[in-house]
Amino acid sequence: MKRFHIALAVANLDESIGDYSRRLGQSPSAVVPGQYAMWRTDLLNFSINEKPEKAGQLRHIGFEDDAAEGYSSSFDVNGLEWELFSAAEQDARIVSTYGIPAPR
């Protein structure tokens, strides 16, 4: 499966989880309290990080693609970061960055 990936900075993780869960019609797939949340829908991989000083800013975009090997990142002509990774790779990176996410 291939999903478009969008990553945003938010002012308040808990408030944002409530808002985006309503908008996406489901709870996050992974949550690291006070830091990070991620949703996987049929078409979208959407993540947020609590970074009040950058709230509302796009952090990066890309694709979650089960055919991808490992993780790669590049910048387009406008300086926007694009990532490419599999779901398994993203899950491993979440654990290595934040520890084990809280159960949902």
Which residue ranges form the domains of the chain, and what is each CATH number?
Answer: 2-98 (3.10.180.10)
pLDDT in tens, 16-38: 999 999 999 999 999 999 999 99
CA distance 2 to 11: 29
pLDDT at 74: 97
- For 34: left if phi > 0, alpha if psi spans -120 to 50, otherwise beta; the answer is left
Please identify every stretch of the chain with a pLDDT value under 50, giving residue numbers as ranges: none
CA distance 34 to 98: 11
Cα–Cα distances in Å, from 79 out to 60, 63, 83? 10, 17, 13
CA distance 91 to 100: 9
* DSSP alpha helix (H) spans, the chain: 13-24, 87-98
